[in-house]
Structure 1
Amino acid sequence: MFSYPTVRTSFIFVAIALVGLLFSDIAITSSNPWQDLANFFLGVVTPNFFSSEGLMTALLRTVAFAFVGVAVGSASGFLLALVYRFLPVRIFCNFIRAIHELFWALIFLQFFGFHPLTGVLAIAIPYAGIFAKVYSEILDEADPGPRNLLPSGTGVISAFLFARIPDCWHQIRTYTAYRLECGLRSSAILGFVGLPTLGFYLEASFSQGLYSDAGAMLILFYVLIATIPIWVRPKLLPIYVLSAPFFLGEGLPIVWGNVARFFTQDIVPAPLRNGEGLAGLVPWLNDLMVNAALPGIWNTVILTQIALVATGMLALLAFPLVSNHFGGPVRRTFGHVFLVIARSTPEYVLAYILLQLWGPSMLPAVVALALHNGGIIGHLIGRQTNGIRLRPDAPKGFNRYTWELTPRIYRSFLAFLFYRWEIIMRETAILGILGIYTLGFYVDSAIQNIHFDRALVLILITALLNIGIDTLGRYIRRKLALQTMPTC
């Protein structure tokens, strides 16, 4: 139900977003945006599935990178989860998961080049941190009852394997399957930095105005995501994981001298590398903060807060589309299709498409972030309303929405929203690679100018900012006692 603290918190965040609008660049700058949008939708409804010989190869490699990256990440994350109670391990996991996959890819590209190892590690490293956190929570919540039934003298490892894991196995399997879907999205966008996945061909098609080709790629990606329950079966997973490395491609050979130089020279701050010492380090840091870090942080925070509120508004408007308490099965089917498309399309892909159609500004980023995250939250709380039983004389229509259902799911809605806050921040930072002046823009500019030392500092600042937002979000959820289950 609505309460004063939750309403006050909601208004505070709305007010921050409105103030942020005064300092944001929200505009459509292309000469004929609606014609471009119409041409894009025409391309989607008239897809050209035979445009490129490399399309199916790109799709296969997208799946291969996802399977290998998620497999390595889940195995590493499980091992880390066993020691997650130690503070250094938690700090390490929080740090590696706070850096976006594309940032990891940009780092590895500098010394591994266009090698499959770049894509695999870009997915596996942040996913290891995510898996470690979630797996540890699942293991901590395991029922202690089965352990107490084991014979005395049972070893720790045996107790863990035969009493703890079986109790948690369903949750571990379910979450890992969800992460595989996320891995497919991460794998697809790796193409935007040059790796041979779906994003590479999507960017090439858009740059040439081949909307039917781009439409075909998007449709194939949606079909791939939507059919995961059909083709991802437990019995087939070992076959997928073992065969996936053979479909990653060969890429260019790794020059190990570049790896050594990157760690011993490239990322060392220029003043220290040039022998200027600490006297030159202070002006170097000052220039970096004034001309890159502070503007990037400012724009990242503004865009994040606007996108967060837009996500919340869209989610509240979207959940009736899949709720059994509104409309009939036909309308709910169309609602499900819309939300599946919205939440299945990576924010980076949505932002890239809208930037091509509307021109450079923060608006495409806000719309992309709101559609993707609003689709996820709208789907979740819409399904929650299906478990709420209403009185036979309950009002219908708008009154049912405002007085019966929204108050009951509002606290769980806020819990989901604050959980997605840090994720929106991560995506906002990385959207700078597309030309929006967030932290990613300054990271990409530093890399393009071969200033890897500056890029690394900016990436570290991005990670700290994400960790800070995640900590604040958890504090707010705990302070308001927010849970992801609705009030019955």
Structure 2
Amino acid sequence: MTAVLDRAPAPALPRLRRDRRRWAWGLAALVAVGWSLAGAVDGDVLNPAGAAQVGRFAAAALSPALDGAFLGVLATAALVTVAYAVLGAALAVLLGALGAVFVARTTWGRRRLGWAAARGVLAVPRGLHEAVWGLLLVNVLGLDPWVGVLAIGLPYGAVTAKVFADLLDEVPRGPYAALLAAGAGRAAAALYGLLPQAAGGLLSYAFYRLECAVRSAVVLGLIGAGGLGYELALSFTSLRWPQVWSAVYALALLCLAADVAGRAVRRRVAAPRRRAGVLSRDRLLTAAVLGTVAAVAWSWWYLALAPASLVSGRTREQVGYVLGAAWPPATDGDLLAEVGRQAVVTVQVSVLAIAVATVGTVLVAGVAARPPGRVGPLRRATGVLVRVALLLLRAVPPPVWALVLLFVLLPGVLPGALALGVYTLGVLGRLAAEAVEEADPRPRAALTALGARPTSGWLYGVAPAAAGPVLAVALYRWEVAVRDTLLVGLLGAGGLGALLASRLAAFDWPAVATVLVATVVLTLAVDLVSERARRALR
């Protein structure tokens, strides 16, 4: 028997096979980047005469304006920005919680057509950037504080509803099924049977939305909504670089405060405190919720919001006029051809932006991540500097980066793409650093124990595990970049944003409707492609 076993062939190991789908998506990505780059560098792109101005801008970073009068202006502007962010995020969470019940797959059961229609309704507010909402609402409400709140709350509410619905679909359905069996309706069963179980994830995402709302409030300030963005735009227009950097540092501090608070809440939600094996009330989470409620009340008072202005006769008249003037959308051949050309430019800008951000993220993610265990002072200082740099990159809105780049680059696709890429690098770099920190430390520890150097341990023990999540986040940011492309386009970087700005300035409402429809359709198409690509990476 032993001889027979000795002669028996060893079991064949499973052969590793290439995933052709991943190779196909990788090749498609390279082709898309090459095509976008060819469109961006068609002709002269450099403007050497502006190099001196960029030098003065960079030098002013070490000497920001610190006079008392200007700092007082910045403090008041910061309060406006915080108020807009808090109320916008609160409205988004409220709309998201209500909308999630009606767009969750669990609520609709087997009625896929109704579920698809509900998700399609969310695509309209979600497909337009907050700045576009702000420009549209100004034409209806005028310079009312509701413009900033609604411009953040409506698109963020649609995004939040989609994320909340996905969270609801992932929780156990036992209580939900029990309520249905007891005679409750689907909406009521989802409200009482699903929402309590998903409360932790919902709370965590709600605080993440608050972080994003701070940056959106700054962007709205650039188009006249007030706050730090407005002060930044005024200082930039007058080329007062020390004041520009003071505003940038104030923005960075706000973003840092939101990041730290949001991260603390998410960590407590992910690892709730226990006493003797029993869940106990977390004072930090309680304080965060109560503080948020107090901040909402203060923001409402500080902005002096009047609900009556939303239903006033003037508002109803303006809504009727805009809708009547915009319908039906323009369908003449010249406009449709121009929309098609600018849609191509929008895609090129977004592809180049994500390519720049992804390459930058690969270079800095390992350094930006907080290493486990004890490290030397040089490594610690380098990590802090990289994280501060990423914070500054995402604190400055893309239009400001575009204006800086326009000193040394000629107007066109390239400055808009680079500006959006630099901003996205700040966001994506931070998310990638968190993915590296959360990766399984055991492969790296095993390689280190075998004598591998720190660089080798990171390349072979951490990078492979973090690559999938980082690429998935990069693809998700591509969806966001398409919407952000409209923002830099409003400043002349081309694409659908530039076309929308020109039609809005001419009050050509049928053409505005056509551009908005094209924007939503393009966003949906990119969402679909991105989802397919993320599925291939799993």
TM-score, length basis structure 1: 0.86
Partner SS, residue 239 of structure 1? helix
Distance 1:454 1:167, change over 3 A: same
Q: Show the counterpart of 1:408.
A: 465
Check 1:470–1:372 CA distance in 2 against 1; reply closer, same or farther (3 A cut): same
Aligned to 1:277: none
Partner of 1:18: 34
Q: 2:339 aligns with which of 293, 318, 323?
A: 293
| Contact 2:164-2:202 at 8 Å conserved across structures | yes
Q: What is the RMSD of the two structures over their aligned residues, measured on CA atoms?
A: 3.0
1:447 correspondence with 2:463:
no
Amino acid corresponding to residue 233 of structure 1 in structure 2: A
CA distance in structure 2 between the aligned counterparts of 1:399 and 1:28, rounded to whole angstroms: 39
Secondary structure of 1:194 counterpart: helix
What is the CA distance between 1:235 and its match in structure 2?
2.0
- Aligned residue for 2:248? 218
SS at match of 2:493: coil
**After superposition, what is the alpha-carbon deviation per residue over 1:81-135, rounded to whole angstroms, capped at 9, x for unaligned?**
1110433221111221011111111111112111112222111111111011001
- Corresponding residue of 1:179: 209
- 2:292 aligned to 219, 222, 237, which one? 237
- Give me the whole-angstrom Cα distance separating, in 1, the residues matched to 2:361 and 2:463: 11
On the 8 A contact 2:128/2:519 being kept in 1, the answer is: yes
SS at match of 1:143: coil
Q: Which residue of 2 aligns with 1:332?
A: 383
**Quick one: distance in 2 between partners of 1:7 and 1:376?**
27
Q: Which residue of 2 is the match for residue 472 of structure 1? A: 529
- Segment of structure 1 superposing worse, 463-472 or 198-207: 198-207
Q: CA deviation at 1:370?
A: 2.1
Kindly state the Cα deviation for residue 190 of structure 1 after the two structures are TM-superposed. 0.8
Q: Which of 31, 38, 46 is the matching residue for 2:55? A: 38
1:322 maps to 368
Shift in CA distance, 147/79, structure 1 to aligned 2, threshold 3 Å:
closer
Map 1:120-139 to 2 at 5 A.
120-139=149-168
Work out whether residues 430 and 439 of structure 1, in 8 Å CA contact, stay in contact via their aligned partners in 2: no
User: Is the CA contact (8 Å cut-off) linking 2:353 and 2:424 kept in structure 1?
Assistant: no
1:131 & 1:217 partners in 2: Cα distance?
A: 29
1:267 aligns with 2:313: no
Most deviating of 389-398 and 460-469:
389-398
**C-alpha displacement of 1:172:** 0.7
Q: Residue 109 of structure 1: which of 126, 131, 138 is its match?
A: 138
Question: Could you say which residue in structure 1 is the equivalent of 2:284?
Answer: none
- 1:114 is paired with a residue of what secondary structure? coil
- The aligned counterpart of 1:203 is 233
2:486–2:497: 8 Å Cα contact kept in structure 1?
Answer: yes
Q: Distance in 2 between matches of 1:214 and 1:222?
A: 12
Between the aligned partners of 1:467 and 1:161, the Cα distance in structure 2 is: 28
Q: 1:47 aligns with which of 43, 64, 71?
A: 64
Counterpart of 2:406?
A: 355
Matched, 1:142 2:174: no
Give TM-score, length-normalised by structure 2. 0.79
- Deviation, 1:397, is 5.5
Whether the aligned pair in 1 keeps the contact of 2:54 and 2:407 (CA below 8 Å) is no
Check whether the contact 2:345–2:413 (CA below 8 A) recurs between aligned residues: no
- Alpha-carbon deviation of 1:171? 0.9
Q: Distance in 1 between matches of 2:382 and 2:419?
A: 24
Structure 2: segments with no counterpart, 5+ residues: 1-15, 106-114, 263-286
Q: Which amino acid aligns with 1:238?
A: V
Q: Which has the higher contact order (CA 8 A, sep 6+)?
A: 1
Does residue 310 (structure 1) correspond to residue 356 (structure 2)? The answer is: yes
Number of aligned pairs? 466
| Secondary structure class of the residue paired with 1:235 | helix
Asked if the contact 2:368/2:433 (under 8 Å) is kept, the reply is: yes
Aligned residues of 1:355 and 1:361 also touching (Cα < 8 A): no
* Conservation of the 8 A alpha-carbon contact between 1:80 and 1:89: no
Q: CA deviation at 1:414?
A: 1.9
Change (3 A) 1:207 1:267: same
Q: Which of 321, 337, 342 is the aligned partner of 2:393?
A: 342
Query: How many angstroms apart in 2 are the aligned matches of 1:466 and 1:213?
Result: 36
CA distance in 1, matches of 2:204, 2:395: 17
**Distance change in 2, residues 1:161/1:448 (3 Å):** closer
| 1:420/1:363 CA distance change after superposition, 3 Å | same
Q: Contact conserved, 2:345 with 2:494, CA < 8 A, in 1? A: yes
Of 334-343 and 157-166, more deviation after overlay is shown by: 157-166
Q: Contact 1:348–1:427 (CA<8 Å) still a contact in 2? A: no
Structure 2 SS opposite 1:234: helix
Q: What is the one-letter code of the residue matched to 1:239?
A: A
Q: Which residue of 2 aligns with 1:78?
A: 97
Check 1:222–1:194 CA distance in 2 against 1; reply closer, same or farther (3 A cut).
Answer: same
Task: Describe the SS at the equivalent of 2:290.
Answer: coil
Shift, 1:191, TM fit: 1.7
Moved more, 3-12 or 303-312: 3-12
Equivalent pair of 2:92/2:160 in contact (CA under 8 Å): yes
Shift in alpha-carbon separation, 1:171–1:357, aligned structure 2, 3 A: farther
Question: What is the Cα deviation at residue 46 of structure 1?
Answer: 1.6
Tell me by how many angstroms 1:354 deviates: 3.0
Tell me the distance in 1 between the aligned counterparts of 2:361 and 2:399.
Answer: 19
Distance 1:397 1:348 in 2: 39
What CA deviation, in whole Å up to 9, does each residue of 1:345-373 have, x standing for no partner?
33334334433564523333222222232
Shift of residue 182, structure 1, vs aligned partner? 0.7
C-alpha spacing 1:349/1:248, structure 2 compared with 1 (3 Å):
farther
Contact 1:66 1:186 in 2 (8 A): yes
What is the match of residue 99 of structure 1? 128
Q: Percent identity, please.
A: 23
State which of 393, 403, 417 in structure 2 corresponds to 1:366. Answer: 417
* Paired amino acid for 1:102: A
Shift of 1:51: 5.1
Shift of 1:328: 2.5
- 1:382 corresponds to 2:433: yes
**1:153/1:295 CA distance change after superposition, 3 Å:** closer
CA distance, structure 2, for counterparts of residue 196 and residue 344 of structure 1: 17
Q: Report the counterpart of residue 486 of structure 1 in structure 2.
A: none
CA distance 1:77–1:148, change in 2 (3 Å)? closer
Identify which range, 440-449 or 316-325, moves more after superposition: 316-325
Counterpart for residue 278 of structure 1: none
